[in-house]
Amino acid sequence: MEKILIFRYGPISETVLSTGFFRELRNALPKAAIDVLADDTSAEILQNSPYVNKIFYIDGKFKNLIAYLSLFKRYDTIFFLKDDFFFSFLAFIVKVKNRIGFNSGKNRFLTCIVPYDEDKHETEFYTDMLKLSGIDADCNKIELWGNRINDLQVEELLKHVSEKKVLINAFSKCKQKNWLNDYWSEIVYYLSNEIHMQIFLAGSKKDRLSCLNIITPIKDKLDIIPIDMCGKLSVCETISLVKKMDLVISVDSATIHIADALGIPAILLHGPTSISRWKPLGDKCMIISRHFSCSPCCGPGAGKKHCKNRVSDCMEYLTPNLIIDVLDDKFKTKHFK
């Protein structure tokens, strides 16, 4: 394994949870050429990694077929961290010696097939992949790197903020993970008026209206007006912002894993996804969950389950007082005084 290509694309959270794989692989093979073929999002997360030599970008499929075939010929090993029939087939065509991936059904023509157990934590999949490749590894500890330019930009943004800072990520692409707006309004009011924290709202451009629906009913009552960052930050800028937070509160999303990787205190509002697979592994994240028997009904491993309600019961029954109690017990009295 002297020339290695790692195939990685997909949600931010999955890429963050795979970062330990890159570290363990580099530690085992310090002299190997370790390159990555990734989409824009994964590439942005990995661009500052000290464990990666080069990053190549996925740009469509068939239109760049020849370029991909030429690229794959350079390597004797390809790790498929994401399932993809097209790219695993190309690796087979050019006879890459070691083609390593999961037995999920999409990857084909592999020389080493890694069991895919839905009950395991996401990081354990990558540990198993390395171990079956003959590398003793532990990928549970994830990490992020960011860059100094983004750090300086965030420092400039925060230079006039004297209060303690909290980042709220209230929304997920999977609507079943979301909390009620009225609940968020209670938490925003409590953070602003009782703990006197500056709130930053994270999310995509599409989340701006939803965040406005949280803030508008209580805006005139708030001591400190939240700062809307929805759609304004890149992934690396978000990493730099999270570094500066005293607390992160989030539904199950990439933000909670970024906070976990950086060792930032966090509260996860957990409901319909698999807690055994997606929970943060660090000791600074408090997980609030009602553990409904019908969970998981969202994400990989949920099968054909789907909550019949507009708002998942497991999220609706996470009432604001549960989070306020955590803020009182774990943060207000111990950390913020």
Instruction: Indicate whether 58 and 170 sit together in one domain.
Output: no
pLDDT at 17 over 70: yes
- Say which range, 87-96, 175-184, 296-305, has the weakest mean pLDDT: 296-305
Domain count, the chain: 2
Domain assignment present for residue 292? The answer is yes
Tell me, yes or no, whether 111 lies in a domain: yes
User: Do residues 204 and 56 share a domain?
Assistant: no
Contact in structure between 250 and 259 (CB atoms under 8 Å): yes
Mean pLDDT of 270-275: 88
Instruction: Indicate if 171 and 308 belong to the same structural domain.
Output: yes
Distance CA 84, CA 7 (A): 9
**For residue 228, what is the DSSP state?**
E
Is pLDDT of 295 > 90? no
3-class SS at 246? coil
> Taking the alpha carbons of 72, 73, 78, 80 in that order, is the dihedral positive or negative?
positive
Is the pTM here over 0.95, yes or no?
no
- Domain range spanning residue 285? 148-332
Which residue is it, tokens 């994830």?
Answer: 142
My answer on whether 99 and 190 are in the same domain is no
Same domain, 223 and 174: yes
pLDDT of residue 336: 44
Together in a domain, 191 and 295: yes
Work out the number of other CB atoms within 10 angstroms of the CB of residue 328.
14
The confidence score (pLDDT) of residue 245 equals: 97
Beta bridge partners of 8: 38
Confidence of residue 335 (pLDDT cuts 50, 70, 90): very low
Mean pLDDT of 221-235: 94
Percent of the chain scored above 70 by pLDDT?
92
Backbone angles phi, psi at 220, to 5 degrees: -70, -10
User: What local confidence, expressed as pLDDT, does residue 146 receive?
Assistant: 82
Element (H, E) at 129: helix 122-132
Q: Let me know whether 104 and 158 are in one domain.
A: no
Q: Are 248 and 265 in contact (CB under 8 A)?
A: yes
190: tokens are: 């409590």
Q: Tokens 């020849």 correspond to what residue?
A: 66
